[in-house]
Amino acid sequence: MESSTPALEVKSQASGGQVRLPPICGDFNMRIDRNGTWYYQNSPIGRIALVKLFSTVLRRDEEGTYWLTTLVENGRIEVEDVPFIAVELTREGVGKDQVVWFRTNLDDTVTLGPAHPLRMAPVKGDGEPAPYIRVRANLEARLARSVYYHLIELCEPAADDPDVLGLWSSGHFYPIGRTTDAGQR
């Protein structure tokens, strides 16, 4: 696909230096729905190997726009919430010594820790709070409901505030919520 748009230079998150991006080709007419299903021209992409390949060239810029960026093309795609869904939780150990891993719908595995923190935020579209984990760079996975329930089973009160529930992983405590509404004390 030819484009007269010049290549862009953006700051690399990994190195802090400038990276030259290929020309912008516009919208690729692709989207990822809130359940993690990838579409091309409103048809689901049925080949999981192809979706996994696309996911390796997916990036999100500082303004929140999602791009598929190859050596020769750079095009926008629509993402309804986040591009990945965490579909499995595994843990080893207990309490402060436990380590928690998540597997995404595209078989990425991430360890809950400083490089892959957990955060609670409203889901785009319905506003209900949900947990998200960073998969890489600016890309996150929302925990599937069953994984969220599993995570809740692992929660314990925070040492400094027993009304705060959370879980330990990789030596860090990740708050999930409160046992009481602080405004009703």
pLDDT in tens, 83-112: 999 999 999 999 899 999 999 999 999 999
As a whole number of angstroms, the distance between CA 147 and CA 52 comes to 21
- How does the average pLDDT of the chain come out, rounded? 88
Q: What is the pLDDT of residue 181?
A: 54
Q: Three-class SS of residue 158? A: coil
pLDDT in tens, 123-158: 877 778 899 999 999 999 999 999 999 999 999 999
Q: What is the pLDDT of residue 19?
A: 67
Q: Given the structure tokens 């919208």, which residue do they identify?
A: 27
Does residue 72 carry a pLDDT above 60?
A: yes
Does residue 3 carry a pLDDT above 50?
A: no
Q: What is the pLDDT of residue 140?
A: 97
Confidence of residue 27 (pLDDT cuts 50, 70, 90): confident
User: In the chain, pLDDT over 90 holds for what percent of residues?
Assistant: 72
**pTM (2 decimals)?**
0.82
Q: What is the pLDDT of residue 123?
A: 84
Q: Which residue has the higher pLDDT, 27 or 121?
A: 121
- Domains along the sequence of the chain with CATH: 8-79 (3.10.540.10), 84-175 (2.30.270.10)
Q: What is the pLDDT of residue 129?
A: 87
Confidence of residue 10 (pLDDT cuts 50, 70, 90): low
- Among 55, 60, 144, residue whose Cα is nearest residue 102: 144
Concatenating the DSSP letter of every residue in 28-92 gives: EEEEE-TTS-EEETTEE---HHHHHHHHHTEEE-TTS-EEEE-SS-EEEEEESS-SEEEEEEEEE
